[in-house]
Amino acid sequence: MLLVNKPKGITSFDAVYGIRKAAQRIHKEKIKVGHAGTLDPLASGLLIICTGRETKQINQYMGLPKTYTGTFVLGAVTPSFDLETEPEFGYETAHITTERIHETAQSFLGISEQYPPIYSAIKIGGKKAYQFARKGKEVEISPRQIEITRFEITAIRFPEVDVKISCAKGTYIRSIANDFGKRLNSGAYLKELCRTEIGPYLLENALQPADFYDLLQNEVE
């Protein structure tokens, strides 16, 4: 089991592919590799990658709670709930106070239902939702149950708000950003996201994907 610090701009599959190729170059044989929970290309942070027989434990790792840090931008929305699509401005923000921002964060605590973004990998009729979204087609996505155990406002630089959120698996922070704007009677989208914890595993103990090859090389030598 490997702790990988996925950089922004690559997919979780890219990280898995790089590690698989590195391992195969060293060991000269095919090695099973998989990740335990996707991170969007625009997000960075902790990714658990399993190899060999440990891939049988992937579901166990996927079930662990997760913690994220991120930045919401108030007063605008995007179709993808993040910066994959262009922001649409013009939402009123004059009524939003610091106190109301903190109160709104606390309103998310506990178990609730969440609608995942249309720009997501959720399967609809055998296809991923984003395949429909990118063609401008409308599809219906069912809500799912989520649980948020921590929602801290760590900084406010209006219209940007920094957050720290701990939640159960299957939670979309992008959807939380969109819903956060709605609860403020305004708009909001996710500007930055980093996963810092998965259960007891911490980002500070993770390697960059490119470092894994050097580690393998040193072990062989």
Same domain, 210 and 187: no
Same domain, 119 and 148: yes
Q: Which residues are catalytic?
A: 40
Contact 81, 173 (CB under 8 A): no
Same domain, 78 and 172: yes
Same domain, 97 and 45: no
Q: Into how many domains does the chain fold?
A: 2
Same domain, 28 and 134: no
Same domain, 35 and 91: no
- CATH code of residue 180: 3.30.2350.10
Same domain, 85 and 143: yes
Range of the domain at 13: 2-63+200-220
The string of pLDDT tens digits covering residues 134-148 is 766 677 778 899 999
> For the range 93-100, what are the long-range contacts, defined as Cβ-Cβ under 8 Å and sequence gap of 24 or more?
93/158, 93/159, 93/186, 95/185, 95/186, 96/158, 96/184, 96/186, 98/156, 100/184
The string of pLDDT tens digits covering residues 98-112 is 999 999 999 999 999
pTM, full prediction: 0.90
Same domain, 132 and 99: yes
Instruction: Please give the Cα distance from 64 to 195 (Å, whole number).
Output: 13
